[in-house]
Amino acid sequence: MNENNDVAKWLKKIEETFTGPSGVIGERGLLLQQKEKYNYEYLITQFKGYVRLMDAFFDFIIDTLNNISINKETKDKEMLAFSTSLQIITFWRFRASYNIFWQGYFIDALSLLRSVLETTFQIAALEVNVIKLDDIFGNLRKNMFEEMSEEAIKRILNTNLSKTDKKVNDYLYGPASGLSPDAQDDIKSLIFILHNAVHKSRLNVALYYGPWARGEKHMPIFPEYDEDAATCYMNDSQFIGWMIVKSLFLLRDDSFPGDWMKKFTILDESFKFAIAGFKKRTGRSIEELILKKFTFTK
């Protein structure tokens, strides 16, 4: 009873302190929600082609994942289960990123794409045996279904992290990757941008603080449309989206519906068409990366 009374007092104190003139607790939060809704409605009208492509993309991911059976007997059953889990986790992260984008948090949405790209790179490297499950999990693989402490799991994963990352990155865009020097540089630049979107919000600081400190631009409290930041997100999300579509091909088998391959082909060609329209060299570099590293056969 005392505990309930304490909670009631605590909630009443919040209510008395933060109720606004209209009788709503956290009234300014409602204003923020209105701004986020406005950003969404504005962006939808500006980027209809992008919306259509990405709606089809997410529909295809869900369709593909719904058709997978990891219980069937196959010589690569463990790899299928792991690849499927990676694709599901990647889908969550990508979708969260996409939702944040529409509310106007462009660089914050971009920061979530970093892990999406890294996981997609990992899937490609696993397919061609550049890395193996043992490289990722080490001893953890043998005890995957046994109870382990969180510290023990962290220790095992961290031990293998830098080694596997180096193998993956060397294969995909390193000096021995087979990519042109321009493509290697552009992929590194893409990763550098995503890195700075994550760590200490450096990309946001560069985008907003400098102009604000010089008196050239105000520092908005609520998210506002920024063409450069929005374009950066849309470009990178299409780059990574195309890689994911290519990698989903690895999950297909004879049990998939007859129209799956038609959907895959149309979406593959649609991303290719969209990126072919990029005027900057980065578009050509992404094409090169995908044609050389993400074109799979079964």
Task: Please give the pLDDT value at position 74.
Answer: 59
| Structure tokens, 222 | 């609520």
End-to-end Cα separation, the chain, in angstroms: 65
Nearest to 87 by CA among 52, 123, 136, 54: 123
pLDDT in tens, 142-165: 555 566 677 776 776 676 677 788
Q: Is 19 helix (H, G, I), strand (E, B) or coil?
A: strand
Domain ranges of the chain: 47-293
pTM metric for this prediction: 0.86
- Burial of 111: CB neighbours in 10 Å, binned 0-12, 13-18, 19+: buried
Query: Looking at the DSSP assignment, which residues form a beta bridge with residue 25?
Result: 19
Question: Any idea which of 51-60, 196-205, 284-293 has the lowest mean pLDDT?
Answer: 196-205
pLDDT, tens digit, for every residue of 186-234? 999 999 989 888 887 778 777 777 788 888 888 888 888 888 899 999 9
Spatial distance between the Cα atoms of 274 and 54, rounded to a whole number of angstroms: 11
Say which residue the tokens 């510290």 belong to. 151
The one-letter amino acid code at 14 reads I
Name the residue among 132, 129, 151, 130 with its Cα closest to residue 141.
132
The number of residues in the chain equals 298
- Return d(Cα 136, Cα 295) in angstroms, integer: 23
* Nearest C-alpha neighbor of 106 from the set 3, 232, 295: 232
Counting beta carbons within 10 angstroms of the beta carbon of residue 271, is it exposed (0 to 12), middle (13 to 18) or buried (19 or more)? buried
